[in-house]
Chains A and B, each alone.
Chain A
Amino acid sequence: MNWRLWIPLFAFAAFLGLAAYQLTQPKDEFVESRMVGESLPYFELPPAMAGVDGIGSADFADGQPRLLNIWASWCLPCIAEAPHLENLKRQGADIVGVAIRDRPEDVARFLAQHGNPYSRIGRDDLSEVQLAIGSSGVPETFVIDGQGVIRYQHIGDVRASDVPVLLAELEKAR
């Protein structure tokens, strides 16, 4: 009887420890993709607006590593990351865009307002590519190597501090 009386206290102490530890951890709601390290699944997307090329998974296997940027004109943080994407493009990164659930005119308007860092933009009306590569929100940026394998995932908008990181990952993927 004696030692059993101490069980509730110890169970509570365990909970206390767990909770205290978790309180110190930054709370991130991100769901990471499990496809990092896997090849891009097959897909083909039509162009997101007139005057750009659509994209397919085959376009990634040409030996050149690229950034795949998941974005949309209705996504507010995408406005914030537009200058940093321009920066990446200026430093030699090839950025391919996938516009999620966007009308061509909205895509055109956004790019006219904030610049177009993309070499190609695909149109993903049903979030199919987004689901296929394990992305769970916009914006997200993936590093794809020359063989079409996903090497790195950056969740959220690209900030100034993320630019060198992404460039380094692109180098690694070479």
Chain B
Amino acid sequence: MIAELGLAALWLAAALAALQMAAGFLTLRDGADGALAGLIRPAAIVQGVLVTLSFAMLVWLFAVTDLSVKLVASNSHSMKPLVFKLSGTWGNHEGSMLLWVMVMGLAGALIALVERRLPERTMNATLAAQGVVSLGFYAFLLLSSNPFERLPVPAAEGMGLNPLLQDIGLAFHPPTLYLGYVGLSVAFSFAVGALLTRQVTPDFARAMRPWVLGAWVLLTIGITAGSYWAYYELGWGGWWFWDPVENASLMPWLAATALLHSASVLASRDALRTWTIMLGVVAFSMSMVGTFLVRSGILTSVHAFAVDPERGTFILVLLGIFIGGALLLFALRANTISEGERFALASREGALVFNNVMLSAILAIVLLGTLYPLLTEAFDVRVSVGPPYFNPVGAIFTIPMLVVMAVGPLLRWRQDRIDRIGKEIALFAALVLAALILTSLLADIALLPLLGLALGVGLAVASLMPLRGRKLARTPLATWGMVTAHFGIAVALIGMASESAFTSERLAAVEEGGSTSVGPWTVVLQGVEPVAGPNWTAIQGRVSASYDGDDPVVLTPQSRNFWAPPQQTTESALVTRWNGQLYAVVGDRSPDGRWQLRLWWKPFVTLIWYGGLLIALGGVLALVGRVLSDLRHRRLAARIADRRADREALA
């Protein structure tokens, strides 16, 4: 019953998306007083409500473990803890696809409900574009990935959820990630709408900016959460591997970051119109390409969903229509968008153009590296592209970008002189050089981490410089946002470089009561005992670790055995200090009775994720700042209009 309701809601939502699309395009052609014009916004809103309802039904089915539904039977288990039952809703292809279309529907509903700053024609075109893309994905869901499909005979028990996914990370990572990169569909629709109506103006950028910021913040959180989850879950302390699916989430983020900056320039200076539109299209296109790569099975990944070439073909066709269509529209219309204001090289716009170019180059490299094995396989050659390629080649563009990021915010708009900020540049250069020399003298580390550390330190100070000489209480929130986000990048950079350069590892076979050491820690294996959980049994090590002679802390790493599905996972144990993390894993027992302990001391590794959260916080501050100032402007404008009306009435 519930499943049928969910399915019906989904069909209705799809029908409304079709209506939204048709109405939008018809009003474009016939003008705003067409018959269907008044239906567009309501259609979008009701569609959002319906698809959310459908998703809620699916969550319900998972919560009660309704084994007559195929999806629940193949991905859930009655003995799973409730939180994993619920988050298991999106731990599979169909469920996560429904999450995808729900976010699309909600985003469309939200724009329809809230956005009043765009000219009505552009708004209609935008909603029409959102309707088209939604329709495509509804079709995909309903025709080839129905989440509500019933089994002819209800299963006796579910197949269970992959143990690696039975973790709180599954509750955070996919939802925030999807809110992020499907949220970018708004930017895509805005860009297409603007192209269709040739309305690329500062107002358009001001309207688009908060939506991009919101999606970008969520995407940042999603990627950060995913990285931390992989770090503690996979048992080897790695936090990024340039895996195709990881790249699939990074590419939209890179495009969205560039879009964010570009839209700001368009909003305040009416420049970079073509760049902004292009990036708006590219950002969501990268999201869609990512979805394709992850679900079609053409790339090997540790992250792979249920792979199916038929579904892959469906998505590819959708991609062809949407991305191809948008890029075609861009190629045909972009040169009718007149160029916009001019600016000098030494100006904030100039620095942001440089930033755009560098981010786009990094995006291109990540795309190239990810797709390259696909290309060579067409010639029957298999190659592997991984961190040894992405790190150095990405650094070629990242390093200049970081240098410009340090001084760019200090430049004035339109035209400035480099020597005006000579002192700040000198300070930054001095800091970087000092850090470089000091670190290379005191420690023997590779070039990239060295550069990362030095630039991170310099950038941390440089990002605070825009606050110099300002009354801090009167500095706009948006500026605080920028400072926080740039500072977050510096913090994350220091964390990454530190982890890469200073991690110590110890693999030891230890008998019960025996001890070993790693870095400044002395570690004693006090004992190993069996424990049991709701759907697993494990051996748990009791490890006491003492930092440099301090009071010992007790950790309990586990090696778990699940039975539905049968799989073994390691649950690492972490001790977090201000200056790093101790990472402990217990392995198997050797024939002579000793236990395998894997220990890492990772100095400052948590800075990576704190940095990520700081970046997201910066985005939130900027978003709130802009929304508040926009509300203030609107109120002011309304008051001025009122007063003018009063004056005219009196006159």
Contacts and interface: CB of A to CB of B under 8 A. Distances in A.
Direct contact between the two chains A and B in their complex (CB within 8 A): yes
Given A2-B335, A20-B313, 7 more contacts: A5-B335, A16-B320, A22-B377, A23-B298, A25-B377, A27-B307, A27-B309
B312 A23 contact: yes
11 contacts: A2-B335, A5-B330, A5-B331, A5-B335, A8-B278, A12-B285, A12-B327, A16-B316, A19-B296, A23-B298, A23-B313
A62 interface: no
Interface in B244-283: 274, 278, 282
A131 to B, nearest CB: 17
Given A9-B324, A9-B328, A12-B323, A19 B378 contact: no
Q: Max chain A CB contacts within 10 Å: which of B274, B282, B297, B377?
A: B377
A6 B300 contact: no
A18 B300 contact: no
A12 B335 contact: no
B292 interface: yes
A23 B292 CA distance: 11
Contacts of A18: 371, 374-375, 378
Contacts of B292: 19
B378 A22 contact: yes
Interface in A15-45: 15-16, 18-25, 27, 29, 31
Q: Which 4 pairs, one residue from A and one from B, show the smallest C-beta to C-beta distance?
A: A9-B327, A5-B331, A6-B331, A22-B298
A8 B309 contact: no
A23 B374 CA distance: 10
A21 B328 contact: no
Nearest to A16: B320
A22 B319 contact: no
Contacts of B312: 19, 23
A29 B374 CA distance: 13
A75 interface: no
Contacts of A24: 309
A13 interface: yes
A77 B650 CA distance: 93
Interface string B297-316: 11010000001010011001
Given A16-B316, A20-B316, A22-B298, A31 B374 contact: no
B279 to A, nearest CB: 11
B417 interface: no
Contacts, number: 61
Nearest to B313: A23
A1 interface: yes
A9 B327 CA distance: 5
Interface string B316-344: 10011001100110110011000000000
Contacts of A31: 382
Interface residues of A, number: 21
B313 A22 contact: no
A19 B300 contact: no
Q: Max chain B CB contacts within 10 Å: which of A2, A27, A29?
A: A27
Interface residues of B, number: 31
Contact of A8 (B319, B330, B375): B330
B316 A19 contact: yes
B319 A16 contact: yes
A55 B327 CA distance: 63
Contacts of B298: 19, 22-23, 27
Nearest to A6: B331
A6 B282 CA distance: 14
Q: Max chain B CB contacts within 10 Å: which of A13, A15, A21, A25?
A: A15
A1 B335 contact: yes
A16 to B, nearest CB: 6
Contacts of B297: 27
B319 to A, nearest CB: 7
Contacts of B324: 9, 12-13, 16
Contacts of A15: 289, 371
A10 to B, nearest CB: 9
Nearest to B319: A16
B247 to A, nearest CB: 14
Given A5-B331, A16-B316, A23 B309 contact: yes
A32 to B, nearest CB: 8
Interface string B363-383: 000000001001101100010
A69 B645 CA distance: 93
A12 B316 CA distance: 11
Contacts of B316: 16, 19-20, 23
B335 A8 contact: no
Q: Max chain B CB contacts within 10 Å: which of A12, A21, A31?
A: A12
B379 to A, nearest CB: 11
B317 to A, nearest CB: 9
A13 B325 CA distance: 11
